[in-house]
Homo-oligomer: A and B are copies of this chain.
Amino acid sequence: MLSNDEKFRQFLQSKGLKFTPERQAILNCVFASDRHFEAEDLLIDMRQHDLRVSKATIYRTLALLVKGGLLREVIFGEKHAHYEHVHDHEHHDHLVCSGCGKIIEFTDERIERLQDEVCNKHKFRTISHRLQITGLCEDCINAGISE
């Protein structure tokens, strides 16, 4: 299996784009941890590691990483973009707690299959899908937090 590095490099090459130090640095930083993040998080994270890239370049590179299939864009309660790694092995969906913001990931093969069935019925060709359930997690329910 290709490393993220090679995957991105190949994607850029196929589009006639360049693999610059800035893109390398962003790529490293994005894949250094495995959590959901947004553009601002990444910027702060990079600054803390003394990697200086402009905000504009971060936005431009994140868009490329999505196009190249290395990141997936997810939109939670807020209206700005969040990103997560694309894992080659599985697609997953999210439970988003509106009490504490916690995000629980899950996969359910049966749901995936039913989605495929719906698409077939409508002669629709899936590119991507997103299932998100908003609610309250166990901790918040116990803490008596309500919507």
Residues in chain A within 8 A of chain B (CB atoms): 75, 79-81, 95, 97-98, 104, 106, 108, 110-111, 114-115, 118-119, 122-138, 141, 147
Closest 10 CB pairs of A and B: A123-B138, A129-B133, A126-B135, A127-B135, A131-B131, A125-B136, A125-B135, A111-B114, A128-B134, A95-B124
Known: A75-B75, A106-B118. 4 other contacts (CB 8 A): A110-B114, A129-B133, A130-B133, A130-B134
Contact of A124 with B135 in the complex, beta carbons under 8 Å: yes
Q: Interface SS of chain A: helix, strand, loop or mixed?
A: mixed
Contact of A129 with B126 in the complex, beta carbons under 8 Å: no
